[in-house]
Amino acid sequence: MRTLVTAKQMKAIDAYTINTIGVPSMVLMERAAMWVARAVEETAGKADVIWAVCGTGNNGADGVAAARMLHLKGYKTSLFVVGDPDRGTAEFLAQSAIARNLGMQMRPWQEAAGEDCVVLIDAVFGVGLSRPIEGEYRQCMEMLEARHAAHTVAVDIPSGIHGDTGQVMGMALKADVTVTFGWEKMGTALYPGRAYAGTVRVCDIGFPESALDAVRDQEEGYGYGLTYESSDLCLIPDRPAYSNKGTFGKVLIAAGSKNMCGAAYLSALAAYRTGAGLVKLLTVEENRQILQERLPEAIIATYTSDQLIQGREEFKKMIEEQMNWADVVVLGPGLGSEPYVEYLVEDILTSAFVPVIIDADGLNAIAGHPYLTTYFTENIIITPHLGEMARLIGESIDAVKENLTGAALEYAGRYGITCVLKDAATVVAGKDGTLYVNSSGNSAMAKAGSGDVLTGIIAGLAAIGMEEEQAALMGVYLHGRAGEQAAGKIGQHSLLASDLADCIGAAMKSVAHE
């Protein structure tokens, strides 16, 4: 498990380490610069021209210090400054003085025109970036972008990427390697920042763990983000030898509509593949035969849409019985948008006292009939993609995209539920402010049916004993790992959602015994 911090949190950790613990700012900076210089040395030869392009804040100061270290080792290093050097931070002024005392020239960035650059050290902005990039800064960064250095090392975060949201603040510089300090920044875990960062290296520059704790305690609701890595797969419960199908929980999947049964099938298949003991599909009568043929392991229960509208009381009773049977419920894949879906959602929400994972048309019914949110309990996990989230909160997709973590946290907090907001880097917000940013998966998973598989995985994990929020976090991670396995076998272009489901077992195995 790795911790992710926002820019604000990182600044507070810096300040605590310097002011309360007493580690001098310049000591931290020298270590930071050493890591940056090392990353450059891995690719630069002594004949290659290295540019360090530095702003006048502490990110720039890191860049000046790294350039000085490389200069002392005999590398051809040019130092360029953007912004008014006289208004630099104390550290920038100190690092500039050291560089000059060692005979280095610090020139305005405009003088770079016409000179060569093989390796670029991007030290224009770090976590201090607070507004869109304009004017001289933009001109400088455009010049750097056009330069196409063979290799770019970003200091702490690619300049132009917002440390909290990963958004491009007008423009940003793409890096091959981002050398970051202490903890990974939220902005390089989320897209598009993640795509700009290249390989992210988290380097220890001497922040104590206690700074993380102290900052968390100082401010209420100051939660850190987290992300899983392969060793966390061991959090998935073992399968005891002395067991039967009842040991592993019963999943009920309310899904599918007339002649639309693919989503129901994929969700059920994934729940079984994840380890559920029994999976029952609750769907329309028209789907019975095909689902039975495709997945004979599943129990099929059916209803007709007429039954639902005309015999509401009886239908409610049937739903109650199904809910009593289930240990976990999936509600929504492929349900369609017929008027009866509203009643189905209402009856399930009012009679389920187990975790309910709501997806797709289940969420659309809620967006169309907001009174349904009054039935939300802490057992609810919603799994919207950007469009579904936008409909739920009445915002544009762009607005959700700009602040993915904020949207998920706000919705989860408002209703006391778990919100899985699906994107290239899916985020999960828990009811108590837990924030998870997923690191697994690939673009091959952006295909029809992938979300249905995710619902089945989360349900399967809940069925084998994981608490619902944990099942949501792990489900997202495992889903991505299955995508990696499947792409490895089949290739990114050809991967289908059913391949994802078929690779869940291998993804779980790669885990436990890695």
Residue matched to tokens 């997923």:
438
Q: Which of 303, 298, 289, 304 is nearest to 266 (CA)?
A: 298
Question: Annotated binding residue at 58?
Answer: yes
Query: Do the Cβ atoms of 204 and 188 come closer than 8 Å?
Result: no
Residue closer to K ion (CB basis): 23 or 155: 155
Separation CA 269–CA 452 (nearest Å)? 10
**What DSSP state is assigned to residue 169?**
S
Question: Annotated binding residue at 150?
Answer: no
Question: Annotated binding residue at 423?
Answer: yes
| Among positions 66, 70, 141, 155, the unique one binding K ion when judged by CB under 5 A | 155
Concatenating the DSSP letter of every residue in 397-432 gives HHHHHHTHHHHHHHHHHHHTSEEEEBSTT-EEE-TT
Residue closer to ligand NPW (CB basis): 32 or 323: 32
Q: Which of 107, 192, 131 is nearest to 158 (CA)?
A: 192
Asked whether position 159 contacts K ion by CB under 5 A, the answer is yes
Asked whether position 188 contacts K ion by CB under 5 A, the answer is no
**β-strand partners of 78:** 51
Instruction: Provide, rounded to whole angstroms, the least separation between the CB of residue 214 and ligand NPW.
Output: 16
Question: Annotated binding residue at 426?
Answer: yes
Instruction: Provide, rounded to whole angstroms, the least separation between the CB of residue 52 and ligand NPW.
Output: 13
Cα of first residue to Cα of last residue in the chain, in angstroms, is 15
Residue closer to ligand NPW (CB basis): 65 or 269: 65
Piece of 40-48, 147-155, 183-191, 296-304 that binds K ion (CB under 5 A): 147-155
Asked whether position 64 contacts K ion by CB under 5 A, the answer is no
From the number of C-beta atoms within 10 Å of its C-beta (0-12, 13-18, 19+), residue 388 rates as: buried
Residue closer to K ion (CB basis): 80 or 340: 80
Question: Annotated binding residue at 113?
Answer: no
> Residue 159's binding partner, choosing from ligand NPW, K ion, none, with beta-carbon cut-off 5 to 8 A by kind?
K ion
Residue closer to ligand NPW (CB basis): 68 or 250: 68
Retrieve residue 409's tokens: 């946290």
Instruction: Provide, rounded to whole angstroms, the least separation between the CB of residue 33 and K ion.
Output: 13
Q: Which of 291, 496, 359 is nearest to 279 (CA)?
A: 291
> How do strand 278-284 and strand 299-303 relate by DSSP bridges?
parallel
Total residues in contact with K ion, by rule CB under 5 A: 4
Query: Do the Cβ atoms of 290 and 320 come closer than 8 Å?
Result: no
In this structure, the number of other CB atoms found within 10 A of the CB of residue 145 comes to: 15
Separation CA 342–CA 99 (nearest Å)? 69
* 130 three-state secondary structure: coil
Question: Annotated binding residue at 130?
Answer: yes
Distance of CA 398 to the CA centre of its chain: 17
Residue closer to ligand NPW (CB basis): 125 or 411: 125
**β-strand partners of 283:** 302
Residue closer to ligand NPW (CB basis): 131 or 493: 131
Torsion of CA 272, 340, 386, 221, to 10 degrees: -80
In the bound state, the residue with its beta carbon closest to K ion is: 159
Residue closer to ligand NPW (CB basis): 211 or 344: 211
Instruction: Provide, rounded to whole angstroms, the least separation between the CB of residue 187 and K ion.
Output: 11
Piece of 156-164, 293-301, 455-463, 482-490 that binds K ion (CB under 5 A): 156-164
Instruction: Provide, rounded to whole angstroms, the least separation between the CB of residue 63 and K ion.
Output: 8
Asked whether position 52 contacts K ion by CB under 5 A, the answer is no
Q: Starting at the earlier edge strand, list the strands of the sheet with 106-108.
A: 106-108, 76-81, 49-54, 119-123, 151-155, 177-181, 199-203
Query: Do the Cβ atoms of 168 and 160 come closer than 8 Å?
Result: yes
Footprint of ligand NPW (CB under 6 A): 14, 18, 25, 28-29, 32, 55, 57-60, 62, 89, 125-133, 137, 155-156, 181
Question: Annotated binding residue at 306?
Answer: no
Retrieve residue 254's tokens: 């309310």
Question: Annotated binding residue at 361?
Answer: no
Distance of CA 260 to the CA centre of its chain: 31
Asked whether position 161 contacts K ion by CB under 5 A, the answer is no
Query: Do the Cβ atoms of 366 and 358 come closer than 8 Å?
Result: yes
Residue closer to ligand NPW (CB basis): 160 or 475: 160
> Residue 62's binding partner, choosing from K ion, ligand NPW, none, with beta-carbon cut-off 5 to 8 A by kind?
ligand NPW
Give me the helices (H) in 116-190, please: 135-147, 186-189
Question: Annotated binding residue at 454?
Answer: no
Instruction: Provide, rounded to whole angstroms, the least separation between the CB of residue 7 and ligand NPW.
Output: 8
Sites for K ion among residues 87-126 (CB under 5 A): 122
Asked whether position 180 contacts K ion by CB under 5 A, the answer is no
Question: Annotated binding residue at 128?
Answer: yes
Residue closer to ligand NPW (CB basis): 89 or 351: 89
**What DSSP state is assigned to residue 287?**
G
**What DSSP state is assigned to residue 433?**
S
Instruction: Provide, rounded to whole angstroms, the least separation between the CB of residue 130 and ligand NPW.
Output: 4
> Residue 130's binding partner, choosing from ligand NPW, K ion, none, with beta-carbon cut-off 5 to 8 A by kind?
ligand NPW
Question: Annotated binding residue at 430?
Answer: no
Applying CB under 5 A, which residues contact K ion? 122, 154-155, 159
- Binding residues for K(+), as ranges, are 59, 122, 159
- Binding residues for (6S)-NADPHX, as ranges, are 58-62, 126-132, 137, 156, 263, 334, 385, 452
- Binding residues for AMP, as ranges, are 422-426, 451
- Binding residues, as ranges, are 58-62, 122, 126-132, 137, 156, 159, 263, 334, 385, 422-426, 451-452
